[in-house]
Amino acid sequence: MNSDGLSLLALKAAVESDPSGVLSSWTDSDSTPCRWAGVVCSHDRVTQLVLPNKGLTGYIPSELGLLYSLKQLTLSHNNFSNVIPSRLFNATDLVVLDLSHNSLSGPIPTEITSLKSLRHLDLSSNSLNGSLPEALSDLTGLVGTLNLSYNHFSGGIPESFGGLPVIVSLDLQNNNLTGKIPQVGSLLNQGPTAFSGNPGLCGFPLQNACPEAQNPDFPSTENPQNPKTLDPGFPRGIPEEKAKARGGSVIVAIISGVSLMVGAVSLLVWLFRRRWSGDESELGKQKLDNEVEEGGGGGEGQKGKFVIVDEGFNLELEDLLRASAYVVGKSRSGIVYKVVAAGKGSCPAASVVAVRRLSEGDSTWKLKEFEAEMEAIGRVHHPNVVRLRAYYYANDEKLIITDFIRNGSLHTALHGGPSNPLPPLSWAARLKIAQGAARGLMYIHEFNGRKYVHGNLKSTKILLDDDLHPYISGFGLTRLGLTTSKSSISMAPKRQNSKQSIATSAVTNTHSNNYLAPEVRMNGGKLTQKCDVYSFGIVLLELLTGRVPESGAENEGKMLEGFVRQAFREEKPLCDIIDQALMSEVYAKKQVVAVFHVALNCTEHDPELRPRMRSVSESLDRIKIP
């Protein structure tokens, strides 16, 4: 037995109860632990230990820190207790650490900051206590959600947390934190639910004013980028509508009398200030859908233009301004809100839509160009594509309003998350999702003479409703040059006409995007429909394996496509490749293998060898649930 096996046997010895018998295969008679349940290896070294929802009771031994090649440690939804051993963080190659939903106690060891490669950290729903380590901000590789919610942390929020990457969502709700929320850095991008359930906290974005700020001032409409410039003309005392956030979503009361600072992620607050403060107060009685200022000091689009694309959409901009919103996602393209607007007229039920507040990125769009793109996107109607309902354009504010798909993304359904209410997806559900998403992407490709490209397809862009019906979202963002940054993809800035803008082109540097086709990721160049096919193939592999498409994390140092291709080449058992949640569905083996072949065809390195989406869709539709 090698040293990694001995370290894992220390975990088995620390487990008092194993109701599922998952550790029964862990025996010291084996020379290697690489075929044990929940263990993944590369070159006979353990790289993943994944044992969620097994009902294990015991403690986490420090010997796990001797797994020096460990990339992922997932022990969530068990009953591990006692403290987190500081020597656990000797496993400095960790990329994913999920110890959520256990009974762990004590403080977070400061040694956690040695995990320089860490990207995902979830310690939520335990009994951890003490103060929040200031040095957590040193974990600069984090993405997604830093989840410390539902614990017993006390004291203040360190100002250093403002140094966390902007893309990180912080979840500190339901602790015993006190004091004023620091108004610095990325903390300004967090919504109220990130801090809710801490009665002793005060200040923005909570509605609890700090004692020294009972008469707050408000940001100026003339200089929204300068938080030091205040506008006393902003109205007070406007009634607010309240709603309750599910899971990790963040509720934002759009119309409220609380102190609002410039870094807020509140939907439309800045628009609201423009309409109601200073010299523009009389705009409150005007409709904005025809208000576009073509000349003068502010230039085109200064007042803004609200356009309803879908005739069945019955909300006006004023309805959205009066609504409540939940932050449900953010990326380089902007922040996405779930907006709940009160019913009106013969429709007393509330209307729920998604509003994406766009970030400008490297692209500057004039009104006519933006309108042309929105009209093109709005013509795409398919049951598996999220539908554009309306949009708003102003020089410094652009909103896209679409249907809200309430069950989250495929990525969350597969890999979990703080607000994921779904059990593991069955094979029937995964096949249904794959088939529906393929039809949606095929429709996009074949609409308007095969000129459209999605350009940013990934599992986070496939949304699921209550029936797990899939919807492709984000179509058009690449067309607007909003899905990228200087470190990844930048859109060609020159647009001669709307037809040319449909054929999206891009260049990229060495920054890796694991869904991007190799001809774009490695060499730079044009995004084509064959690039979408490659991205779809990666999504299929995600569905089949349950692995994130990260190189070096779960996949033995390879990207997901390379890992699966090598496994097939070496004729490894299917159980070493597929998602462990599918192991019980042995009847579906032939169907699973068939989808693997479709996925591998989609991810051929030579784009000429990849099929068109129509062929992919037809191949998937021929696969039936036995």
Helix 529-545, helix 560-569: angle, nearest 10: 70
Q: Is the pTM of this model over 0.75?
A: no
Structure tokens at 518: 């190799």
Task: Identify the CA nearest to 454 among candidates 580, 539, 551, 330.
Answer: 539
Contact (Cβ atoms closer than 8 angstroms) between residue 266 and residue 258: no
Contact between 409 and 386 under an 8 Å Cβ cutoff? The reply is no
State which of 235-249, 272-286, 338-352, 355-369 shows the largest mean pLDDT. Answer: 355-369
Average pLDDT over residues 30-57: 90
Q: Given phi > 0 = left and psi -120 to 50 = alpha, else beta, which region is 587?
A: alpha
Contact (Cβ atoms closer than 8 angstroms) between residue 301 and residue 395: yes
Query: What does the mean pLDDT of the chain come to?
Result: 75
Beta-strand relationship, 470-472 and 152-155: unpaired
What band does 152 get if pLDDT is binned at 50, 70 and 90?
very high
* Side chain identity, residue 232: P
Beta bridge partners of 42: 45
Terminal CA-CA length for the chain: 41
Q: Which of 57-66, 256-265, 375-384, 410-419 is predicted least confidently? A: 256-265
Band the pLDDT of 219: cuts 50, 70, 90: very low
Q: What percentage of the chain has pLDDT greater than the value 90? A: 32
* Distances, alpha carbon 549 to alpha carbons 204, 553, 566, 616, in Å: 37, 9, 15, 20
* CB-neighbour burial class of residue 344 (10 A; exposed 0-12, middle 13-18, buried 19+): middle
Candidates 504, 493, 400; CA nearest to 445 is: 504
What's the mean pLDDT in 413-434? 79
506-557 confidence digits (pLDDT tens): 333 323 478 888 888 777 778 889 999 999 999 999 999 998 887 554 545 5
- Evaluate if residue 35 carries a pLDDT over 70: yes
d(CA 107, CA 87): 14
- pLDDT band for position 463 (cuts 50, 70, 90): very high
Burial of 525 (0-12, 13-18, 19+ CB in 10 A): middle
More confident residue, 328 or 226: 328
C-alpha 121/C-alpha 94 separation (Å) is: 10
**Amino acid at site 439:** R
26 burial via Cβ count (<10 Å: 0-12, 13-18, 19+): buried
- Cα gap 134→138, rounded to integer Å: 8
Torsion sign, CA atoms 196, 202, 270, 480: negative
Residue 312 CB contacts under 8 Å (≥ 6 apart), including other chains: none
Work out the number of other CB atoms within 10 angstroms of the CB of residue 382.
18
Residue in 243, 236, 216, 397 with CA at minimum distance from that of residue 305: 397
Beta strand 45-50 with 72-74 is: parallel
| 299-347: pLDDT as tens digits | 344 467 888 888 778 888 888 777 777 777 777 677 888 887 765 555 4
Q: Is the pLDDT of residue 157 over 70?
A: yes
Q: Which residue has the tokens 């993405």?
A: 143
Q: Which stretches of 494-578 are DSSP H helices?
A: 498-502, 518-521, 529-545, 560-569
Each residue's pLDDT tens digit, 170-217: 889 999 999 999 988 778 767 777 888 999 999 877 777 887 543 333
Ordered by where they begin, the domains of the chain are 3-213 (3.80.10.10), 224-404 (3.30.200.20), 411-626 (1.10.510.10)
Which range has the top average pLDDT, 254-263, 515-524, 559-568?
559-568
Higher-confidence residue of 75 and 289: namely 75
Instruction: Specify the pLDDT at position 386.
Output: 92
In this predicted structure, the answer to whether residue 256 has a pLDDT above a threshold of 80 is no
Residue 275 contacts residue 284 (beta carbons within 8 Å): yes
Tell me the DSSP string of 306-371: EEE-STT----HHHHHTSEEEEEEEETTEEEEEEEE--BTTB-SPEEEEEEEE--TT----HHHHH
Whether 612 shows a pLDDT value over 80: the answer reads yes
**What is the model's pLDDT at position 510?**
29
d(C-alpha 267, C-alpha 255), whole Å: 10
Pairing of strands 305-308, 388-394: antiparallel
Q: Are 468 and 432 in contact (CB under 8 A)?
A: yes
Torsion angle, alpha carbons of 359, 365, 366, 371, to 10 = -90
Distance separating alpha carbons of residues 37 and 26, to the nearest angstrom: 8
CA of residue 36 relative to chain centroid, distance: 32
Tell me, what amino acid is at 609? Answer: L
Give 258-297 as a 3 state SS string.
Answer: CCCCCCCCCCCHHHHHHHHCHHHHHHHHCCCCCCCCCCCC
**Dist. CA 107–CA 400, nearest whole Å:** 43
CA 488, CA 522: separation in Å to the nearest integer? 11
Distance (Å, rounded) from C-alpha 537 to C-alpha 521? Answer: 15
Q: Is the pLDDT of residue 453 over 70?
A: yes
- R_g of the chain computed on alpha carbons: 25
CA pair distance 383, 96, nearest whole angstrom: 35
Token digits of residue 35: 């075929």
11 touches 63 (CB < 8 A): yes
**Amino acid occupying residue 344:** K
Taking Cα atoms as reference points, which of 52, 44, 109, 46 lies closest to residue 82?
A: 109
pLDDT for 614 beyond 50: yes
- Report whether pLDDT(457) > 70: yes
Predicted confidence band at 158 (pLDDT cuts at 50, 70, 90)?
very high
Read off the pLDDT of residues 72-92 as tens digits, 9 standing for 90 and up: 999 999 999 999 999 999 999
pLDDT band, residue 289 (cuts 50/70/90) = very low
147: left (phi over 0), alpha (psi -120 to 50) or beta: beta
